[in-house]
Amino acid sequence: MARIYAAVSLGVTALAAGFLAAACDTQSTTSPDSTTTSDKGLKIGTLLPTTGDLASVGQQMVGAVPLVVDTVNACGGVNGEQVTLVEVDSQTDPKAGAAGMTKLATLDKVGGVVGAFASSVSSAAVSIAVPNKVMLVSPGSTSPVFTEKAKKGDYKSFWARTAPPDTYQALALAQLAKKKGFTKVSTVVINNDYGVGFEKAFVQAFEKLGGTVVNKNKPVRYDPKAQTFDTEAVSAFANQPEAVIGVLYAETGSLFLKAAYQQGLTKGVQIMLTDGVKSDSFPGQVGKASDGKYIISGAVGTVPGSDGKALGALNKLWKEKKGGSPGEYAPQAWDAAALLTLAAQAAKDNTGVAISQKIREVANAPGEEVTDVCQGLKLLQEGKEINYQGASGNVDIDANGDVVGVYDVWTVGDDGKIKVIDKVSPQ
């Protein structure tokens, strides 16, 4: 079975030449059962975080793409050749992401990339993917900025995502806050595309529902590289909000919430969170209170859910190969990789240009609905049209590269365990 996995940790500079030099210094490694594939075969990359602020969530996604590649190669590959996978760690850092995308596009010459996760990293990566004609499919970058730029034609169809934009999640979270009876809330967000985009969408949605955001005119936006958060915590909890909406990343978000607790600010205030911190390790990162309970016990949040027709099959395969169940965004990562392979087969061409021209076709009606990637490849080889139904959802990618999803509502127990308690479909 042909697999090539390049595990890359990149030192970077701001210059493209530095990007390339950093990439050239890395070495590829192959798994024991790997063989080198022909240049004729489809080559795809991943640009996902195994280190950095989003590592705790990103590591849950990274395992999904090799499963797709192995599955596809076991049933004959794409266009008669085995698929090659090159993996790059984005480090949750735009500069590292740009370096990684430069390597994937110019050295590895991939046709498509699953990534990035952080919206700020995807913003850096897509600016390199487009001129190099590489199809970028993000399983988790949810900033509304991508929709706006796609509408302007900035991406030339080389961008799509299998997670819905935060305009939908913000509405879902606003509806959840209203359902809980909150009329007065405040926000605190990481100061990047993800945080600011979500904040703006949430304020608009919550006000439409009759709520008030008390710090609307003085929003709290923290530096992604910050290490102390006492001032931001005081500002976010000022003016007696009933709930504080935190649009955070795990590493920095844990420090913020710990700072708020240590200053006695969290008592009697509902903490509401989003997908950026939804991982099993996050409550432990924040830590325990003096009574032995976890600091964020009782916090609630939203995260893009998965209710696709292929989810059962993915869960079964994951349990067989890895044990347990796939974590957050693993279904979206699976779908992103599956769509890249199906689009290349539909085009009978492994280039990014060909994939970009066919990816919406294989994701939408009127083709025959398929949940199994191998069945989809077989039908495409026979010249038939397909409508892939994914693990995360129906992945009907629109003209702007967006999908519409459902959202899980989750909470943290006194024991620090996260559990999903409800689903919400924004309307």
Mean of pLDDT values over 283-287:
97
d(CA 365, CA 376): 13
Pairing assessment for the beta strands 407-412 and 418-424 based on DSSP bridges: antiparallel
H or E element that contains 294? none
Cα pseudo-dihedral 101, 103, 109, 112, rounded to 10: -20
Mean of pLDDT values over 30-47:
63
pLDDT for 66 equals 97
Whether residue 6 is predicted with pLDDT greater than 50 in this model: the reply is no
Q: What average pLDDT is seen over the chain?
A: 91
H or E element that contains 375? helix 373-381
Stated pTM of the model: 0.87
d(CA 76, CA 116): 28
pLDDT band at 246, cuts 50/70/90?
A: very high
pLDDT for 28 equals 36
pLDDT for 331 equals 97
Residue 37 per-residue DSSP state: P
d(CA 217, CA 202): 14
Q: Is 63 exposed, middle or buried (0-12, 13-18, 19+ CB in 10 A)?
A: middle
Residues 6 or more apart whose CB falls under 8 angstroms from that of 57 comprise 49, 117, 140, 250, 275, 276, 277, 278, 279, 327, 328, 329
pLDDT band at 69, cuts 50/70/90?
A: very high
Residues 6 or more apart whose CB falls under 8 angstroms from that of 316 comprise none
List Cα–Cα distances, 309 to 249, 335, 372, in angstroms. 30, 11, 10
Residues 6 or more apart whose CB falls under 8 angstroms from that of 232 comprise 188, 220, 222, 226, 256, 259
Per the DSSP assignment, residues forming a β-bridge with 409 are 302, 422
Q: What is the pLDDT of residues 159-195, one digit of tens each?
A: 999 999 999 999 999 999 999 999 999 999 999 999 9
pLDDT for 39 equals 66
pLDDT band at 17, cuts 50/70/90?
A: very low
Give the tokens for residue 90. Answer: 């984005």
Residues 6 or more apart whose CB falls under 8 angstroms from that of 353 comprise 133
- Range with the poorest average pLDDT among 53-62, 132-141, 172-181, 372-381: 53-62
Q: Which of 375, 401, 395 is nearest to 334 (CA)?
A: 395
Whether residue 260 is predicted with pLDDT greater than 80 in this model: the reply is yes
Whether residue 24 is predicted with pLDDT greater than 90 in this model: the reply is no
Q: Is the peptide bond before 366 cis (omega within 30 degrees of 0)?
A: yes
Give the domains, in start order, of the chain with CATH numbers: 166-306+406-424 (3.40.50.2300)
Residues 6 or more apart whose CB falls under 8 angstroms from that of 367 comprise 361, 384, 385, 386, 387
Whether residue 27 is predicted with pLDDT greater than 70 in this model: the reply is no
Q: Which of 213, 220, 175 is nearest to 195 (CA)?
A: 220
pLDDT for 211 equals 98
For residues 197-215, b (16+ Cβ closer than 10 Å) or e, as one string?
A: bbbbbbbebbeeeebbbbb
d(CA 29, CA 18): 22
Residue 212 per-residue DSSP state: E
Q: How many Cβ atoms sit within 10 Å of the Cβ of residue 67?
A: 20
Give the residue, 21 or 340, on which the prediction is more confident: 340
Mean of pLDDT values over 130-139:
98
Q: What is the pLDDT of residues 347-383, one digit of tens each?
A: 999 999 999 999 999 999 999 999 999 999 999 999 9
Give the residue, 405 or 200, on which the prediction is more confident: 200
pLDDT for 427 equals 67
pLDDT band at 289, cuts 50/70/90?
A: very high
Quick one: the chain helix, strand, coil %, rounded to 5? Answer: 40, 15, 45
Whether residue 117 is predicted with pLDDT greater than 70 in this model: the reply is yes
